[in-house]
Amino acid sequence: MTTSITVLVAARSHPASGRATRSRADATAVTLALGLAAPLRLLTAGDMSDSVARDYLALGAPLLEILDSPPDADPLDSLLPALQDVPWVLTGTRSAAEFGSGLLPYALAARLGRPLVSDVLAVQIDGSVWTVTQALPKGARRQLRLRAPAVLAVSAAAPVTLRHALADAMAGRIVHSAAQTTSPAPAPGQQVPSSKRRAVLQARVQQSGHARMLGAIDSPSTGGAVLATGSPADKAQAVLAYLRAHSLVTF
CATH number at residue 48: 3.40.50.620
Q: What is the pTM of this model?
A: 0.69
Cα–Cα distance for residue pair 101/83, rounded to 1 Å: 21
pLDDT of residue 196: 60
pLDDT tens string 51-106: 999 999 999 999 999 988 777 777 888 888 888 888 999 998 876 555 456 788 89
Longest dimension (CA), the chain: 88
Q: Assess contact for 172 and 140: CB atoms under 8 A.
A: no
Q: Per the structure, how many domains does the chain have? A: 2
Of 28-42, 124-138, 163-177, 222-236, the range with the lowest mean pLDDT is 222-236
Task: Write a three-state SS string for 186-241.
Answer: CCCCCCCCCCCCCCCCCCCCCCCHHHHHHHHCCCHHHCCCCCCCCCHHHHHHHHHH
71 and 14, same structural domain? yes
173 and 223 together in one domain? no
Domain extent for 241:
217-251
Phi, psi of 168, deg, nearest 5 = -70, -35
**pLDDT tens, 21-55?**
888 889 999 999 999 878 889 999 888 888 999 99
